[in-house]
Amino acid sequence: MNETNQTTTTAVTQRPPSEVQLRLKTLRMKLEKPEYAAALQRVLKDRAPQFVSSLLQLCGSSKQLAMCEPGSVIAAAMTAASLDLPIDRNLGFSHIIPYKDKAQFQMGFKGYIQLAMRTGQYAAMNARPINAEAFKGWDNMGEPVIDWSLLDETKPPVGYVFAFKLIGGFTKICFWPKTKVEEHARRYSQSFRSGGETPWKTNFDAMAMKTVIKNELSKWGVLSVQMQRAITEDQGVRKDIDAELEFPDGSPETEPQPPRLLDNGRRGPGRPRKLAPPAEAPPPEPEPQPTQSDEDEDVLP
């Protein structure tokens, strides 16, 4: 009996490590190399060890991510670190997700709001699903009219609003009907078109708000350098920390658009950037071609 137990114990202890364990070991060894350790230390300083621990824990909880090329995983993590955003998927600020055999950096809608508030240019900001009773149509400038007192989260949304006010007084309310969000997702998201069990199906409201916030901030918002980088890097892939940014299935969904400035773009020293109100009857913008695969639709925003 004892001999049998000893044989069984020996067999268990001699079991070879799994492929995931080997991949995690490779990632850990790569992170310990001087060039990667120095890069993390330069960006994160004394928070580098905690960030490395979070990254290894994240990869250990996802077999698909663990199987990605280690250099691309570190590159995606470095992007999040440079934006000072956590990579914990439960927080929803930023994500590192597997895209085939590489890791892809993706912003969450909370990350966009966080970066916007850091600029110090926003006095207030809000993003909400809007039920039919709260939406009152459009004013004579084409701006949505929302009766905030009639918001009811228990009722199905007919659209999604993103509103902000700058400290200089400029206010913008952006509203996308649900049909517009669905059309956008159908155009850009392979996962949405597949009809699979993706966040577009399990958490549509959060995905919709991310779409509205990202697109409208890039058009109307005051964009810091961090915000511009977040928009540019969102959904991108790097093979390593010093590699070129790639978009596996085409160009990014939203190109950064610098906000229009008053006084022809001239600002005095220390003078905050201000946005001009929209011109009357602006010409319609051309629709982007559906060349991008929006793989960020496979994670929660």
Q: Is the pLDDT of residue 215 over 60?
A: yes
**pLDDT band, residue 1 (cuts 50/70/90):** low
Domain that holds residue 193: 109-234+256-265+273-278
DSSP-derived letter for residue 32 is T
Which pLDDT belongs to residue 206? 87
Cβ neighbours of residue 261 under 8 Å, at least 6 residues apart?
A: 267, 273, 274, 275, 276
The answer, as to whether pTM is greater than 0.75, is no
Using a pLDDT cut of 90, give the percent of the chain over it. 57
Give domain status of residue 39, yes or no. Answer: yes
Q: Of 82, 107, 132, which residue constitutes the final position of a domain?
A: 107
pLDDT digits (tens, 9 = 90+) for 150-207: 999 999 999 999 999 999 999 999 999 999 999 998 887 766 776 666 677 778 998 8
Q: Which helix (H) or strand (E) holds 101?
A: none
What are the percentages of helix, strand and coil residues in the chain, rounded to 5?
Answer: 45, 15, 40
Q: Look at 124 and 2; give whichever has higher pLDDT.
A: 124
| Over residues 38-49, mean pLDDT | 90
Kindly report, residue by residue over 266-295, the tens digit of the pLDDT.
443 343 444 444 444 444 454 544 444 444
Per-residue confidence band for 221, with pLDDT thresholds at 50, 70 and 90: very high
Looking at the structure of the chain, the number of domains it has is 2
Q: Do 98 and 125 have their domain in common?
A: no
Sign of the Cα torsion 198, 201, 206, 207 reads positive
177 and 44 co-located in one domain: no
The whole-number average pLDDT for the span 210-221 is: 94
Tell me, yes or no, whether 97 and 163 share the same domain.
no
Do 141 and 70 reside in the same domain of the chain?
A: no
pLDDT digits (tens, 9 = 90+) for 102-126: 998 989 899 999 999 999 999 999 9
Domain assignment present for 44: yes
Which of 107, 134, 157 is the last residue before a domain boundary? Answer: 107
Same domain for 87 and 133?
A: no
Q: What are 145's two structure tokens?
A: 């009219």
